[in-house]
Each structure stands twice: as C-alpha cells, then as structure tokens.
Structure 1
C-alpha cells in the first residue's frame, strides 16, 4: 500500500507568515442565516474570550448528576433573577432508544450505572415571565451563574462545523444560499461580491484559488474489490464516520431508496439505536419549545433553509464523500455512518457528545466481553474554535469523551480546519496525556505542498492530501443549472443540445472536493488499511483479538507506520 498520509510537525508562524507577535488570525464566522436557523449566536473575542465561537443561545449543557439536590435549579434561578432568563427543567440525554436505559448491546451492571451518571444533560434556558425572548443568551447566563458560584457544572452547547471548502470555487459559500457556516456569507446574501465573502477581499482568492470547491465529475472505474469475510479470515476494521450520514450508492453497498435495509456484511452500516438516542435528545428540546433543526435519521437528507427549491446545502454529500475515500483506500473495512451533521455543515456539540459516549461504551463493553461493538477508528471531519483554550472549564466533556476512546485504543482522527490560521481547532487540537494522540490532520495539495487554506501549528500532527480529491457523492441534482446551454433538438437520432458543465448535477455519483475534512477522511482510511496490513503480517496484531491491550498495540503500530 502506498501511504499518502505523513507525520509532520513544524513552526506554524514560519509556515503561515511572521505575524510580528500578534495573536493568531480570527477565523471566518457563520452567516446570519445559519445562526437564525440553529438558534445560535457568535461570541466575539473580548471580555476574557480569546477566540470567536458559536453556541446555541437557549441551551446549556450540564454534567451535574441526575441525583443533584432538588434546590439546585432554584438556586441557579435566584442567581439569574433580574437577567430576564431562567433555567427550565433539565433533560438527561437518553441512553437508549426512547430514553429507556442502556442500549440492548451496551454496557451492563456497574458499567451502565457509570454511563448514566456520566450523561450530559441539556438544560433549557428560557425567558423569565414578561421578559423579551430575544434576551435569552446562554453566554450571559453562564457568566452570571459562574460569578454566583453555581456554574461549575455548566457549559455552552457549541456549534461545530464540517471542515470542507464550500460548493463554489474561489469562495467558501454557495452563490444561491447563505454561505458556508464558517464564512460571512455568499455573493447573493449577506456579503456582496466586493465585501466579506468574495474572492476580491480578505483572502478567499489566495486561499482557495484553483477550484477548491465542490464540483461534479464522471468516473469510469469500478469500485475497489472487497474481499469476502472468508477470504479476509479476520475481523474487519470499523471506521466510524460522524458526519452528514449516508446516501444510496453502489460503491458503498447502500441501496436505493434511502431507508432500505443494508446488506449483511456490506461496506457501510448504521447504528439505529445510537441514531435514535440523538433524535430523542433533539425531540426533548423541541418539546420544550427550543428552536433547532431536527435530524430525521441516519440517511443523508436536506434541511429546510428557505432557499431556492432544489439548492444543495454547502455540506450535502460530506459523509458520503468520506465514505468513498475509505472504500478507495481500505475496501475491506466497514464504515459505520452516524449522522450528527446537518447539510449546512452544523453539528451540535450535545449530539456529538452522545455519539462519542455511546461509541466508548460499546468499545469498552466489547473489550470486557459483555457485548458491545468494536470500533477501531473514529473520523471527526469537523471542529470549532474554543472561546478560551487556556481554561478547560469552558469545554465540558469533549476532552473526556475523546480521552475515553483513546484509552481504549481507538484512533481518533480530526480535521485541522480550513482558515489558514494557527489558532487551535478542536477536537484536532485537544492535548493528549496518554500514549495514543489525537490524529490531527492538515491538508496537502496534490503535489504534497501544504494547502494554503489548511490550518497549521504544532498541534497539527499529520498531513494528508485534502485538495481536489475525487470520491462518491449522492446522486442528486440541484437547481443551479448550466451557465450556458443551447436549445434542445434532435438531428439524425442524436441530441443537439450543448451546454457548459452543470456544477449542481451530481447524478453520476462522484465529485471533486477539497478541505481538511477529506484529509482527515483519507488519514482514517489509511489507518484502517494499516490495521489490516499489520494483522496479516503479525498474528499478534490480528483484529479478532479485541481486548484493550491488543487494541492499543494495533493502534500504535498503525500510527508508527506513517512516514515522518
């Protein structure tokens, strides 16, 4: 196997340019339409905040145990008196479909009790009687509660974003929609062609020149051959992709229509119980009156944006594209698709925590021989900028959840981000105290130069191709259409219509796309391929040995296999 992912460290300032001691550049921010859609706000630097972050205005996350004293809520609301806000009853994140305990194949006994105590709860923040609902602001409430000594167990519910370049070359946003969640807008909405989001201003041209956006392509190659279970003679490595879900595609062994049963031992699988847990948590907030976008199921589907009918979201196809990268590099693996990302690239931190917690529970149970499911690699092509990286209390559980997976020997791969900054992008920049690090991945160009758009810094530990990659894509057609076309006709039995490339026609099922999202996906695929290769060469590294020690040994050997 030809490895294209490389270990690399370097001086971020030397790579990105000397900034004369100034702080790292401030990343792009989401459009107003994206914020409205998800009930979110932007926290700008200042007042103890070192980096801009995005959070849900009406939700706080709590790690207080379910058995907390009944007067805790009352004391918090006394502290908030006069702010125009109050905390409503908190809701435990369900630990199984419908919230009825641990999943059927999850941990039992003491392990289940620990899992229940560990659950993060979403706490609804609402307007006090007679107050303006627009005054509800989770950050203002969190500051007041912490000042009053009651907020140690509370944190913001951050919005994370998919780390791909948007759907239009030279910009991060689509020209017909609100723009990519990590930009200030597109030429047809908040930013005009001569303002924030255009290639004529703050830097999109120099960062993305060369057609870095999403484009349809045609591919005449057959899918890479996948060995049967009998031929393989070992357990298949499992790559969990926490992303936009899955779309029907023959390369991924996913039948049409969406929602059809997946074949046994097919390339792609889903965790219906985990998906139900995520949906149940969203339903609880919706029932409490909170405005949010609900995911329907594990299948990739559009969200309502209020844009022109048929317009594709900026991150439509994101998960399907990454799944195709794994199929190309490690066709004998199994991809576990978990939908946490909306088609505009937004991920709620609370949903991500549910998924990570469940995966850790499953792996720990499998290693203990009490059921569960083994996962070898977790791919997180998403991230956010933490408001205060120096203060761990600002992020509530992400570090703990990732550490649990790493301690179990699961390789966690995370995208470095696309904003040409050395500012830490999380979870890629999470510190590592154990033997196994987070595999943070920056993007190379096809010629192995670092992509101009890729974030960089000492925290970016690995690099892989992430520009102009080709992979699977949902067979959909948006409403943009070709720029130029001639009238349809017929001459001698052949159509006479001619047109330029329709950048919204993906009915062939393949696309070219760029971003550290896909560098991370490629890195995850190469880890899976190395796990198989090493297992074939060394019986002590066989994947059917699922104890924690063997899992960690395999993971370390795989990471050591990447050239420096």
Structure 2
C-alpha cells in the first residue's frame, strides 16, 4: 500500500490542534486544509454584510441552518479579520465542508459586484508542504562532512550586517554549539521531544533554515521566531496578526525568510494576510517565500504574491532544484508565479544533538517510486524508511525506523531553497554595499546568467558559490 502522505499529515496537524475541527479542501479533493464551519471576512460593514447574506441564503435552503450563522470572533486587530460561524464544526467528516462551500457561494454575487473577494475559508498555513510538510524528513549527516552550502568567507560586522527575520519554528536548545550560528538569536523551540524522549516532527526546521542563511551570508543578524512552533501550522485568521507581532517585536528587517504558506484555489492571495501585505508594500523589507512542495502549478501563498503586479518588487518566490542543480526537484511547485529556483534537495545544515545524540523515529514511509512521476533517485524513495503514521505499519505492527541526530542533518524542500536565496540577497548587499534589499534583489537577478530546466522550461537558477552539487542517480534511461 502506498503511503497516504496528505492523510497522515492531516491527522498529525488535527491532533496538534484538537480544538479546531479541520477539513480538506476545496470540496472533494485534498489541495489544502481549513477550519470547518467557519469563514472569514473583513471587520465591520463587510463582516455584517457577509453574515446577513449567508443567513438569508441559508433560510432559503431547507438543508442548511440559518441559526448557525453568527460572528464567532469579533476581536478587532490590525489584520481586520472576523471569523463567522456558518455551520456546526462537529458535523460531517474531514473530506470537505459543504456548509462552508454554500456560504462562499452565497456571497459570490456580491463579490462580483464589489470587484473583490469578501469572504474566504479559514485556511491552515503550514510549513511549506509536500502535503503539509517539508519535501522529506531529515536524515543524519556527519559533522565532519560540514554543511552544504559551506560557510562563505566573510566577516560578521554588527554595524553592516544584514537583518534577516526567519518566521518558522524556534531554535533548538543547543544551536549555539554550531559555530556558524553564533550571530543567530530568537525564540526557542517548544517541546523538542515527546514523552518518550524522541525528537518531535519539524522542531528543528527553523534552526536548519537559520544555518543555511548564515552559511550563505555570514554577515547577517538572523532572528528566528517560533511563530509556527505548533507542528508548523497556524490558522489564516491568526497568521497576519502573528506577522505584525513579529515586526512589532523586532522591527522591519531587510529580509523576511518565510518557508510556509497554503494554496487556496484562488489567484488573489490570502484574505487573512491582506492587511500585512498592504503594510509590507510601504516598507523596504523584501519577503522571500517558499513556493511549496506539492509538485504542482497551483499558486501557493504568500509566495504567489510575487506574480501580482502590485507585489512584484515586494515578494520573491523560490522553487527548489534537485541535488545536481540542473533540474527542478520532483516535489517543487512550479509555474509562471515561481520567480527563481535554488538548490533545495539534500542540503546539509544544523539541526540538534550537538550536546548529546538525540533519537528520532520516522513519521512517514518512503515510496516505491516517485509520487510525482520523476525517474531519478529522489527523496520520495531514498533513503528508504518505514514511518509511524503509515497505515500499513499500523496494521502490521512492523517497527518504524529510528535514527540518531548528532548535530547536522540533510533535508529537502522549498523550505530550504528559500533561505539559500535570502542569504544570496544578503550576501549581495554586503558585497556591493547595497542598503536596499529590493534593489539588491533586482541587481542579483539581472546579473544572474545561470539557468535550470523545470518541467521543460528554462528558469533562472541561483546557486551559491559554496554549494556543492550532488550527482543524481537515474533510475531509468533519460531521467
């Protein structure tokens, strides 16, 4: 039986958010996750209009209950978003929520007249997923082999260091034992281990990303925030407020590195991020965002803001190249909305276990063949392991594979291609004494003469000088 990665991740996230019933969407597929029985709208008159419109629509539909329609959360914050309950979250299963779909249809005519979106599902924003997780699970790497990319030769100068804010999971307790993280600070990870002493899934994600930024651009002050400490997931209605919280605490940095997001079946962004994105446009900060790991052309937000004209200079979307850097990684999202690609398969960076080895048990099983149809030895298959969450393992009682981390790890995903690009922009700023990160982005891309092949297209590729390509193994001729 092939692993059901999306279902495994859905169950994992639902257990971590027990008070928020979730559904898979849009209606009869598994493209994204969202809160059951709830839609979101802008505070004030728009929220009242949505509430009244949905209630009237439900009154006319005998199978729907107008009494459920009411504002579930009236708190006003800088995001200007209100949650509106439109159904009983306890009804139905996880495969879509028809009541939410009806509520969206009820408002559609008013949206057409207004010329903009008035209501949305309350999506789950999560660590850039292959079905809600990174491209694979981490693999231990010998400390003696060093990191890949290797640390660039540059001196850290606090006066000229480029500020990089990483919105992710927090830092592991022993991260300072890695010398290249000497100028990294921020939140600590919450509950690094489970009750059995095993390393929890994703807790080292932010530490790994910080290590990549610091390797590519040593002259950086990297701050890692634990915004996604809860299994790397957060509701859209809360995410915008958390982003505002981050810049309120630490100021607007030169670069924000964000390896999280969601698709939403639309081409106009996330309603819950509208206020933050509008504020971002007025600042000098550049948002570098992961394109996601669903092997799809479907826009993934906030990375896909890069394709909207008003955000073209504000957001840089990043896809992943496979380990040889010549082609796109099997898992990487792609399409016209992805602006640049960087190495994102089998990178090596800091994780945990510097003080003492830390055990980890795999959560997912690998596949017999690439789930995206690629024919090279990709991370879908290698290295092979059996995971705890796989249905076959649960029914047969076979023992999942366990490893020990002793500092470094090898990991894959657009999650990690993103800090490569963030670091290259920061390094360009240092090398050229450029103080404007958006100007540095333009200069770096304009001067870049490297390309790769992604689904038959020739795309811009950024490969840091200290990155070492790893040859791929073709499983069939022509791979």
TM range (shorter): 0.5 to 0.7
Give the aligned partner of residue 181 of structure 1: 132
Is the 1:443–1:467 Cα contact (8 Å) retained in structure 2?
yes
Is the 1:251–1:472 Cα contact (8 Å) retained in structure 2?
no
Deviations 1:51-74 (A, max 9, x none): 833211144333224xx5997697
CA shift for structure 1 position 472: 0.8
Give the aligned partner of residue 300 of structure 2: 425
SS at match of 2:173: coil
Structure 2: state its 5+ residue gaps: 60-64, 364-383, 385-400, 451-479
RMSD: 4.2
- The verdict on how the C-alpha distance between 1:124 and 1:337 changes in structure 2, with shifts beyond 3 A counting, is farther
Give the whole-Å Cα distance in 2 for the aligned partners of 1:155 and 1:330: 39
Give the whole-Å Cα distance in 1 for the aligned partners of 2:32 and 2:278: 23
- The verdict on how the C-alpha distance between 1:553 and 1:159 changes in structure 2, with shifts beyond 3 A counting, is same
Structure 1: state its 5+ residue gaps: 1-26, 95-115, 166-179, 184-207, 255-264, 271-297, 363-371, 484-501, 536-540, 544-549
Is the 2:128–2:262 Cα contact (8 Å) retained in structure 1?
no
Give the aligned partner of residue 353 of structure 1: 240
The structure whose residues are more often strand, as a share, is 2
Equivalences, count: 383
Structure 2 residue aligned with 1:301, among 165, 190, 213? 190
Structure 2 residue 224 is the aligned partner of structure 1 residue 267: no
Give the whole-Å Cα distance in 1 for the aligned partners of 2:158 and 2:206: 29
Give the whole-Å Cα distance in 2 for the aligned partners of 1:417 and 1:72: 34
Is the 2:192–2:199 Cα contact (8 Å) retained in structure 1?
no
Structure 2 residue aligned with 1:85, among 68, 71, 80? 68
What is the TM-score normalised by the length of structure 1? 0.58
CA shift for structure 1 position 310: 4.1
Give the aligned partner of residue 163 of structure 1: 128
- The verdict on how the C-alpha distance between 1:139 and 1:60 changes in structure 2, with shifts beyond 3 A counting, is same
Q: After the TM superposition, which residues 335-374 of structure 1 pair with which residues of structure 2 at under 5 Å, given as runs?
A: 335-342=222-229, 344-358=231-245, 373-374=251-252
Q: After the TM superposition, which residues 10-21 of structure 1 pair with which residues of structure 2 at under 5 Å, given as runs?
A: none
- The verdict on how the C-alpha distance between 1:555 and 1:422 changes in structure 2, with shifts beyond 3 A counting, is closer
Give the aligned partner of residue 333 of structure 2: 455
Structure 2 residue 157 is the aligned partner of structure 1 residue 232: yes
Deviations 1:278-333 (A, max 9, x none): xxxxxxxxxxxxxxxxxxxx4222499xx983454442311111011112111221
Give the whole-Å Cα distance in 2 for the aligned partners of 1:71 and 1:440: 35
Give the whole-Å Cα distance in 1 for the aligned partners of 2:264 and 2:72: 27
Is the 2:38–2:84 Cα contact (8 Å) retained in structure 1?
yes
Give the whole-Å Cα distance in 2 for the aligned partners of 1:181 and 1:322: 17
Give the whole-Å Cα distance in 2 for the aligned partners of 1:143 and 1:69: 14
Structure 2 residue 30 is the aligned partner of structure 1 residue 34: no
CA shift for structure 1 position 384: 1.7
Is the 2:175–2:350 Cα contact (8 Å) retained in structure 1?
no
CA shift for structure 1 position 382: 1.7
CA shift for structure 1 position 251: 4.1
Q: After the TM superposition, which residues 107-118 of structure 1 pair with which residues of structure 2 at under 5 Å, given as runs?
A: 116=78
CA shift for structure 1 position 236: 2.1
Structure 2 residue aligned with 1:323, among 207, 210, 215? 210
Structure 2 residue aligned with 1:214, among 123, 138, 155? 138
What is the TM-score normalised by the length of structure 2? 0.67
Give the whole-Å Cα distance in 2 for the aligned partners of 1:70 and 1:422: 32
Structure 2 residue 446 is the aligned partner of structure 1 residue 557: no
Give the whole-Å Cα distance in 2 for the aligned partners of 1:556 and 1:54: 34
Q: After the TM superposition, which residues 70-109 of structure 1 pair with which residues of structure 2 at under 5 Å, given as runs?
A: 75=52, 78-79=55-56, 80=58, 82-83=65-66, 85-92=68-75, 94=77
